[in-house]
Amino acid sequence: MLLLLIIILKKVKLSYIVSLGVGVVFGILLDVVKPIIFSLPDDTWLVPVYVIASMLIISFGITCFMKCQMPLMPCDIFVRNIVLERHLPLGRIKTIFDVSCLTFAIAVSLIFAGAIRDIGIGTVISAVFTGTLVALISKAVSKVFDFRPVTGIAKRSLNGSLDATTDPHVNPEQIATVLNVKNNE
């Protein structure tokens, strides 16, 4: 995924390597909470509750990581950087990306397993609606909180360059507008 991002944007950034570390930590945390998840009751009527709750939590997490300009997992850094570089709407690009990944997973499953495996209705719903939820939560959170890049590190993470304020190819106001963040300069 990061290789695809490098090919599309023709840039290699330190934030891409950091995102790999974030992905590893996320995977470890999933393994840690897996026993808790499997201990939850699995009554049929609870499945929609779990799907909706998990989508809201994930969407809120993605929004907070993007707004706070924290390192993201490779899939989310891909979406964020495409949005920033091409000035495209976050929700739409996240949805297109998620549905593309889902389509690829279905194709691989059909090719190698001969059937669709481990892709349930919750996965499909999540792929279709998480981008929209991220966009809605992003707008709602921006009405309550004032997100501003304060340090050089935060400014660096906006676009992955050394400093968004001195890079002649980067307009900090455009970045702030796309991420719905107020620039303090």
Does 128 fall in a domain?
A: yes
Q: On the CB side of 91, how many CA atoms lie within 13 Å of its CA?
A: 11
CA distance 121 to 125: 6
Per-residue confidence in pLDDT tens, the chain, 185 aa: 667 666 766 777 777 778 888 888 989 999 999 999 889 898 888 989 999 999 999 999 888 888 877 777 888 888 888 887 788 888 899 999 999 999 999 999 999 999 999 899 999 999 999 999 999 998 888 888 877 655 444 444 343 332 333 444 555 565 555 555 554 44
Does 5 fall in a domain?
A: no
Does 6 fall in a domain?
A: no
Distance set, CA 151 to CA 12, 84, 163 (Å): 22, 19, 10
Question: Domain of 120?
Answer: 13-35+45-178
Q: Which residues contact 135 (CB under 8 A, 6 or more apart)?
A: 89, 90, 91, 92, 94
Structure tokens at 52: 């909706």
What pLDDT shows up at residue 149?
57
- Name the 3-class secondary structure at 178: helix
What pLDDT shows up at residue 173?
61
Does 150 fall in a domain?
A: yes
What pLDDT shows up at residue 125?
95
Does 4 fall in a domain?
A: no
Amino acid at 99: V
What pLDDT shows up at residue 171?
57
Does 155 fall in a domain?
A: yes
CA 23, 150, 72: angle at the middle one, nearest 5? 10
Do 176 and 91 meet the contact criterion of CB atoms below 8 Å apart? no
Does 124 fall in a domain?
A: yes
Does 183 fall in a domain?
A: no
pTM of the model: 0.71
Domain count for the chain: 1
Structure tokens at 65: 């990581």
